[in-house]
Amino acid sequence: MMPESTIAALLEKEIPGFTMARAGESFAELGVDSFAMLELRIAIEHAIGATIPDTVWVQLGSPAQLLVHLGAGPAPVATPPQSPALRRNYTLNMPQMALGGLSESWLFRELGDAHWAMITGGLGAPSSALRDGNGDRLYATFTRLRIEATVPLARFEENESLALEGRICRFGAGMFFSEIALEGGKGRVAASIMSSFTKRGSPTSNSNLLKGQPTIPAGCPIADLPAMPPFGQGYRERRSGRLAPALFEATYNIIPYYDINGVGLLYFAAYPIISDICELKYIDRANGWALEASTLCRDVYYFANCDAQDRLIYRVHARQDTPAGVDLESSLSRASDGALMAYLVTRKVVARG
């Protein structure tokens, strides 16, 4: 049995302003959103050394109910071995190219596929078979993806060879982190990726996605981290941060044939391209900016999804002109209810023209 003081300390750490006097209040009344609930669950599971079944977790509506459940004292589980590496090789041909250089759209899709392949490989199940403890279908939800290149993406050339190597780890059963490197003759791209899992709260809306997590099989090769890594902490800080006033605003109409993925969600790889299309309106040089500038770094924080019929609002919140190009901070929100969907930090340099 775990001492109440230990659990109380965890609750106070994870829930701002919490004291044991408020243990009877619901998590919703305490201001704990779905992402914070996921973090709390992982912290509790690490502390007790066991996974709380989904069928039990969804019934725990308050800290008081959690404390009662934890009196059972679950048995510890074994620590898994270090995750194996994933390796792939490519030749840059037309499917991987755009405007004479490496396509950022292809890059995001391939990085996402590599990350997802490492998850499904480690869990020993195809993507279509991943379900939570209640049997509900789970979907990979990218929460943050950052790329940093040593040269602008436009410098990568046709027929150039690229080698990919990636490793993945997890924080509990609900958050997965990968580090992936793409090495070519012209430069290198380093990617950091963070994802969680969601399930549909409504069969007809993408605006009501719920957090979930898969069952981790015995002997899972994906290493379990003892604490949230800095990359995840940065996401949490951005999620709770305030946006600066908008310098520019534009509306984007979703293109379902391109922007929506195979399970009916706005595809994570479409967010940077949507941003680029709106950025052209902000720079206001027709297509001249796209023909000259190329991405060097991009950091995307994902917060929500939307329906295919919705429209998006793009806003620029910060701009810093540099000798080589421009740094922009921008956001995407749902037009229907104003919900923030993503925050993007982008560095582009003039690499063509």
174 class by beta-carbon count within 10 Å (0-12 exposed, 13-18 middle, 19+ buried): buried
Assess whether 244 and 136 both reside in one domain.
yes
pLDDT in tens, 1-41: 566 677 778 788 888 888 777 777 778 778 888 888 888 88
β-strand pairing of 311-321 with 325-334? antiparallel
Assess whether 105 and 30 both reside in one domain.
no
Is the dihedral angle over the CA atoms 69, 70, 71, 76 positive or is it negative?
A: positive
Rounded distance, CA 68 to CA 4, Å? 10
Structural domain for 50, as ranges: 4-70
* DSSP per-residue letters across 23-36: TTS-TTTTT--HHH
75 occurs within a structural domain:
no
Higher per-residue confidence, 125 vs 80: 125
The H or E element that residue 235 is part of is: helix 230-240
Assess whether 90 and 218 both reside in one domain.
yes
Contact 337, 207 (CB under 8 A): yes
Q: Rounded to two decimals, what is the model's pTM?
A: 0.78
Assess whether 140 and 255 both reside in one domain.
yes
Q: Can you list the positions of beta strands (E) in the chain?
A: 86-91, 97-98, 101-102, 139-149, 161-171, 175-184, 188-200, 209-212, 223-224, 248-253, 293-302, 311-321, 325-334, 340-350
pLDDT band at 78 (very low <50, low <70, confident <90, very high): very low
Q: Which residues of 118-145 are buried (b: 16+ CB within 10 A; e: fewer)?
A: bbbbbbeeebeebbbbeeebbbbbbbbb
Assess whether 260 and 332 both reside in one domain.
yes
Mean pLDDT of the chain: 87
pLDDT in tens, 276-331: 999 999 999 888 899 899 999 999 999 999 989 999 999 999 999 988 999 999 99
Number of domains in the chain: 2
Assess whether 41 and 127 both reside in one domain.
no
pLDDT in tens, 198-225: 887 776 666 667 888 898 898 899 999 9
Q: Is residue 73 scored above 50 in pLDDT?
A: no
Q: What is the pLDDT of residue 137?
A: 87
Assess whether 189 and 246 both reside in one domain.
yes
Rounded distance, CA 346 to CA 26, Å? 39
163 occurs within a structural domain:
yes
Which tokens belong to 228?
Answer: 């949230």
Q: What is the pLDDT of residue 38?
A: 85
Calculate mean pLDDT across residues 216-243. 91
Pick the closest to residue 122 from 217, 45, 192, 52 (CA basis). Answer: 217
Q: What is the pLDDT of residue 61?
A: 78
Assess whether 63 and 93 both reside in one domain.
no
pLDDT in tens, 150-169: 999 999 999 999 999 999 99
274 occurs within a structural domain:
yes
Contact 68, 24 (CB under 8 A): no
Assess whether 96 and 48 both reside in one domain.
no
Rounded distance, CA 348 to CA 104, Å? 12
Assess whether 329 and 205 both reside in one domain.
yes
Q: What is the pLDDT of residue 178?
A: 95
Q: What is the pLDDT of residue 1?
A: 53
Looking at 70, 98, 120, which one is the last position of a domain? 70
Q: Is residue 129 scored above 80 in pLDDT?
A: yes
Q: Is residue 76 scored above 60 in pLDDT?
A: no
Assess whether 228 and 319 both reside in one domain.
yes
Calculate mean pLDDT across residues 130-150. 90
Looking at 22, 38, 70, which one is the last position of a domain? 70
Backbone angles phi, psi at 92, to 5 degrees: -75, 105
CATH number of the domain encompassing residue 342: 3.10.129.10
Contact 326, 319 (CB under 8 A): yes
Assess whether 135 and 187 both reside in one domain.
yes
Q: Is residue 138 scored above 80 in pLDDT?
A: yes
Which of 93-102, 103-112, 193-202 is predicted most confidently?
Answer: 103-112
80 occurs within a structural domain:
no
